[in-house]
Structure 1
């Protein structure tokens, strides 16, 4: 799978870990920055991830920050993006199963490092259920 990833300074350390995990699993990962813990404004790094996914250049995207909230807000401003903030395996499972989330937002300050791999695995491997959930996504697209 082709995956775009970006973070601000508060998500930088997890971003490096996630790139290593995804690469080990055989995924192609494009890093949109930032590349240090020097303070930056997150929209500069998050919007390009969302645009790349919306354009079809990448199948999925991952954005990271301190809480992940601002990053999810920025990503969701881009049409066709369904970015969900996930903090555990179950939130990741339902993000895919019911919402067909194409961008995952993670807060480095809120998600324990030991949970990262299991969250990623579930988010990548869980298929969209479709059915009534597809109808709801279409309604969201009409908003």
Structure 2
């Protein structure tokens, strides 16, 4: 099955924004017509400050990593690429750990890690104190992981999603604010559990 075209993805996201998030600022006539770029919520309290994103991949995610790096630049972010830099076989835990360490230490604002399925890297990253990694595979999971869980590291499965969808997930994940309120209480409990097992 081929990946949906960017225009089709934009139309789908517009419908989701309009129906569920209430974030679309376009009129019904505009959304029914030709596809236009999605207007994402502005969540950065200081949009002029460039934020650093740590990005990494194993051999299965290398190509998608290289595609997403220019997207980060276009969105106004700087990035630290921890590798891998070829398609030669490597072990995803090594690179997921490097991304997670940069996020945990505060050297990176957020992190993105790409492997074949996104699952293993998510497990590794969540072993690092202070990291809340979430795997996203569609618009809703990206939105939810930020709004409800305040994730600071995104994992993607290059073998499970196409390029157009990966770009949309990245944009939504970077731009969605944490919801706070009842979600803050739950995130506090996640942190409390983590502290039980860290010295």
The TM-score normalised by the length of structure 1 is 0.97
Deviations 1:83-142 (A, max 9, x none): 000001110000100000000000000012111221111101100000111111111112
Residue 53 in 1 paired to residue 103 in 2?
Answer: yes
Q: Where do residues 5-16 of structure 1 align in structure 2 (5 Å cutoff)?
A: 5-16=55-66
For structure 1, the residue ranges without an aligned partner over 5 or more in a row are none
Q: Give the equivalent residue in structure 2 for 1:98.
A: 148
Once the two structures are superposed, the pairs formed by residues 110-129 of structure 1 within 5 Å of their partners are 110-129=160-179
Q: Which has the higher Rg, Structure 1 or Structure 2?
A: 2
User: 4+ runs of 1 displaced by more than 4 Å?
Assistant: none
Matches within 5 A, 1:52-91: 52-91=102-141
Higher percent of residues as strand: 1
Give the superposition deviation at 1:4: 0.2
Aligned to 1:22: 72
Tell me the distance in 2 between the aligned counterparts of 1:49 and 1:125: 20
Cα separation, 1, equivalents of 2:190 and 2:150: 12
Report the number of matched residues: 143
TM-score (norm 2): 0.70
CA–CA distance in 2 between the matches of 1:68 and 1:120?
14
From 9, 20, 36, give the equivalent of 2:86: 36
Structure 2 residue runs without a partner (length 5+): 1-50, 194-199
Structure 1 vs Structure 2 CA RMSD:
0.7
More displaced, 114-123 or 67-76? 114-123
